Homo-oligomer: A and B are copies of this chain.
C-alpha cells in the first residue's frame, strides 16, 4: 500500500501526495508546522519566527490549519490576550515528513546556491 501507483492502478485512486500538499502547501503552512513541531508558540512568537508574514496571513493560515485538524488553538482569557498554538496528534504525525522536507531543502540550498548567486 501507498506505493508508487502501477500502470494499471492509476484509475480513480486519490493521490496522497496531492492531499498532503493541499494541506501543507502554500507559502507559510509548512514552516508554521515546522516551528510548532519544536514547541507550542503564541501568536506573536510565531510571527517573529516568520520573517515577512503579515498578521492577516498568519491568522488566516493558522485558522486553516486548525480547521484541518493539524493545529490546536487555545485562548487564555488574560490581559494582554494570550493565544497558544500547538500541534494536534495528527499534526505531530507530520513531523517525520517535515523533518525530511527540511533536510532535503537545506541540502538543496547548499548544493544549488550557485544557480541563484
Query: Which residues on A are within 8 Å of B, measured CB to CB?
Result: 1-2, 4-6, 10, 14-21, 23-27, 30-31, 33-35, 37-38, 48-49, 69, 90, 93-94, 96-109, 112
CB distance from A87 to the nearest CB of B (A): 11
Q: CA–CA, A104 to B19, complex, Å?
A: 9
| A16–B103 touching, CB < 8 Å | yes
* CA gap between A76 and B106 in the complex, in Å: 35
Q: Give Cα distance in the complex from A108 to B17, angstroms.
A: 11
Residues of B within 8 A of A24 (CB): 21
Can you pick out 16 interface pairs between chain A and chain B where the beta carbons lie within 8 Å of each other? A4-B34, A4-B35, A4-B37, A5-B49, A14-B109, A16-B103, A16-B108, A18-B31, A19-B109, A20-B104, A20-B105, A21-B24, A21-B105, A25-B25, A94-B104, A97-B97
What is the CB-to-nearest-CB distance from A67 to chain B, in angstroms, rounded to a whole number? 9
A49–B33 Cα distance when bound, in Å, is 30
For A96, the chain B residues whose CB sits under 8 A away are 100
- Least distance between A100 CB and chain B CB atoms (Å): 4
